[in-house]
Amino acid sequence: MSRNRQVTIVDIAQAAGVSIATVSNVLNRRNVPMAEETIRKVEEAAERLGYRRNVMAASLSRRKSYELGLLVPGFGGYYGLFAESMQRIAHQFGYHLSVFSSGGFDPEIEKRHLEVLLQRRVDGLVCHGLAMSQETTRQLVGDGTPLVLFNGWGWPSDLAVAAVNLDFAQGSREAVKYLYERGCKKLFYLARSGSHAIDEQRRIGFNLGVSELPSEVEAEILEYSDGKQQAALERLEAVASDEAPIGILAFDDFVALTFMSHVQRSGYRVPEHFRIIGINNDPISSHTYPALTTIEIPYDLQARLAIRVMMRQLGEDEKLIRLPDERGDELMGGGAHEIRIPLKLIPRRSTEA
């Protein structure tokens, strides 16, 4: 090929071993289901041949950028796994996903993200309820950019197209019942108030679950954030006995595992003295001793529901995005502003005598 000749999609199709139409669909990010391997081959061939697409001209002609923005509070744990699912699903349907972290509620980082997103004119925005303030987010959607929230409880209904929320309240409520049914007459929630609405949803569920139990059941919420763990541990050790196990619902698996490690080092046994439930089903939770009972997070289902809502708003065929089970179709079919995703308890040895 002549060095001065411009690379065409015909050249890319030949190099990748696919049709010209497939190359066009990949490069123009058309909403056509394609295998990840096909997309990869086309993109690698385009890069190898030095293909350069005029993105700005293409976006202006279509009045679409085929780019979505994702705002998360950070990249660790749940947020990173959710972002991976979102990126994979968006990519399959012709959209690029730009992921931004709020950097721990830093107002300067939030301001920079706002400027970048406004300049890039993303077609839609998916935002965690803790990733950006409502005031800043309103500036982004003021020009008609659709917003889909995830884990955004209590946001104004006029600000977002929909909120796709994990039902932590119901999951915590069921965890309380589960601990009671396994002989726990004293129940504690290890809270992280710095996590704001996420912690609040767990508290709501914990209190609701307790309210449904006999009045003789004792229940308490203990703050387990930095600097307050020791006081919580001392309180729990003061009520531990050989007569009946203490039921613990922890803010997440990390809190549950740090607590379990401490009490075992102090000579207590799990589940004989403490029966512990975490939240998130982190991979490590099944490999600890004893393995941790936890509440599973359906990352893929939540990501697919969020993308489906966005595709509907952008006029795409949302049904091309397959949901992992019939549960998803039921949740989408309600037409409510908030989609609440039920969570599943995964019983393991930390609660089973």
CATH at residue 146? 3.40.50.2300
- pLDDT(56) > 60: no
Quick one: 107 and 146 in the same domain?
yes
Quick one: 101 and 130 in the same domain?
yes
Quick one: 183 and 205 in the same domain?
yes
Full residue range of the structural domain in which residue 48 is found? 9-53
What one-character DSSP code corresponds to residue 187?
E
Residue 233 lies in a domain: yes
Residue 349 lies in a domain: no
- Per-chain mean pLDDT for the chain: 84
* Interacting residues of 25 by C-beta distance below 8 A, sequence separation 6+: 32, 34, 94
Q: pLDDT category, 320, cuts 50, 70, 90?
A: low
Quick one: 293 and 303 in the same domain?
no
Residue 350 lies in a domain: no
- pLDDT(276) > 80: yes
Instruction: Select from 156, 176, 134, 124 the least CA-distant residue to 306.
Output: 124
Quick one: 159 and 307 in the same domain?
yes
Considering only CA atoms, give the Rg of the chain.
24
Quick one: 304 and 156 in the same domain?
yes
Number of domains in the chain: 3
- Would you state the pLDDT for residue 200? 96
Residue 348 lies in a domain: no
Quick one: 40 and 78 in the same domain?
no
b (16+ CB within 10 A) / e for 279-302: bbbbeebeebebbbbbbebbbbbb
* Interacting residues of 229 by C-beta distance below 8 A, sequence separation 6+: 258
- pLDDT(53) > 60: no
Read off the tokens for 14.
């030949």
pLDDT tens string 296-312:
999 889 998 999 888 88
Quick one: 49 and 83 in the same domain?
no
